[in-house]
């Protein structure tokens, strides 16, 4: 059995306060050994100007965010998916949205950089989003083999691009940190998350931001854990908190044998 966990946050601009919230939540939760904990997108700094995010961007393997998450993973003997936080790039005017997987020993097991940039117009109080202005998109599909299963990493807007998930191959668990807006979330969140679970026949742990943030941006919440059959195993509609579900990864095998979707697929996508 594997314990899947999603932490829902209403992150603000202060990095120390957000890290303290994660630390407090984990300290007050009874986590099984080797639990997989997923944080939301922008968990460490949110609701502020992009220039502020650039100012808190960290080098690889250095900085308070990475050090704290490594420490928490070792302390609680669990895997932690970092949501996203700004990581420095070779361009001093752009950061990448880094999603790291820390192992129970505190070491970094995987490093995914968000590929699809949220450059859209939304009928909400923010109106226009231009993520690519300060964020450099990643280019690598990331799947990591661990003792609890093969884990695929994706972030928020990525969920709308099924070719990315086809390129992952067979995965046991898909992690999806997100900061879905209230408007797009109420329209599409559940449909998209469940579609990825069903088509990949995989468990999905989708951790979202929730509520109104310092900038006035409103996020949808509804962090959710979904089975390979598309069933909701746990969900937190609003507010900050934690959800978890104990699952049997081997459950996937019966589903894949009865409905071998991957074998029947006559189309393949290749990320270029």
- Partnered with residue 204 across adjacent β-strands are 174, 226
Helix or strand run (H / E) with residue 193 = helix 190-200
| Tokens describing residue 44 | 């460490």
200 is catalytic: no
Integer-rounded Cα radius of gyration of the chain? 17
- Catalytic annotation, pick one of 42, 58, 78, 114: 114
CA distance linking residue 268 with residue 266, whole number of Å: 7
41 is catalytic: yes
CA distance linking residue 131 with residue 54, whole number of Å: 12
- Catalytic annotation, pick one of 136, 156, 194, 218: 156
Q: Look at the alpha carbons of 168, 113, 161, 45 in this order and tell me if their dihedral is positive or negative.
A: positive
- Partnered with residue 58 across adjacent β-strands are 87
CA distance linking residue 266 with residue 41, whole number of Å: 33
Q: Is-contact 93 51, C-beta < 8 A?
A: no
94 is catalytic: no
- Catalytic annotation, pick one of 41, 94, 200, 218: 41
Looking at 43-125, list the stretches that DSSP marks H as alpha helix, in order from N- to C-terminal side: 50-55, 64-76
CA distance linking residue 148 with residue 221, whole number of Å: 27
Please give the torsion angle defined by the CA atoms of residues 184, 7, 194 and 138, in that order, rounded to the nearest 10 degrees: 70
Active site residues: 41, 114, 156
């Amino acid at each position: 059995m594997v314990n899947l966990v999603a932490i829902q946050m209403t992150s603000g601009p202060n990095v120390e306060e957000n890290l303290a919230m994660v630390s407090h939540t984990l300290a007050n939760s009874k986590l099984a050994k080797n639990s997989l904990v997923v944080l939301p997108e922008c968990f460490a700094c949110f609701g502020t100007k992009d220039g502020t995010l650039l100012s808190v961007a960290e080098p690889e393997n250095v900085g308070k965010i990475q050090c704290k998450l490594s420490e928490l993973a070792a302390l609680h003997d669990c895997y932690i998916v970092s949501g996203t936080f700004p990581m420095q790039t070779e361009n001093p005017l752009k950061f990448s949205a880094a999603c790291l997987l820390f192992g129970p020993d505190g070491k970094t097991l995987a490093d995914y950089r968000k590929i699809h940039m949220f450059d859209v117009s939304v009928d909400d109080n923010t109106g226009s989003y231009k993520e690519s202005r300060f964020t450099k998109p990643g280019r690598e599909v990331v799947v990591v083999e661990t003792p609890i299963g093969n884990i695929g990493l994706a972030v928020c807007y990525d969920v709308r691009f099924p070719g990315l998930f086809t390129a992952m191959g067979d995965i046991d668990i898909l992690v999806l940190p997100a900061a879905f807006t209230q408007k797009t979330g109420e329209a599409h969140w559940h449909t998209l998350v469940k579609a990825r679970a069903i088509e990949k026949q995989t468990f999905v742990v989708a951790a979202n931001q929730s509520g109104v943030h310092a900038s006035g941006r409103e996020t949808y919440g509804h962090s959710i854990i979904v089975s390979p059959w598309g069933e909701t195993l746990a969900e937190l509609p609003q507010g900050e908190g934690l959800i978890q579900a104990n699952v049997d990864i081997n459950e996937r095998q019966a589903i894949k044998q009865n409905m071998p979707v991957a074998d029947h697929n006559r189309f393949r996508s290749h990320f270029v």
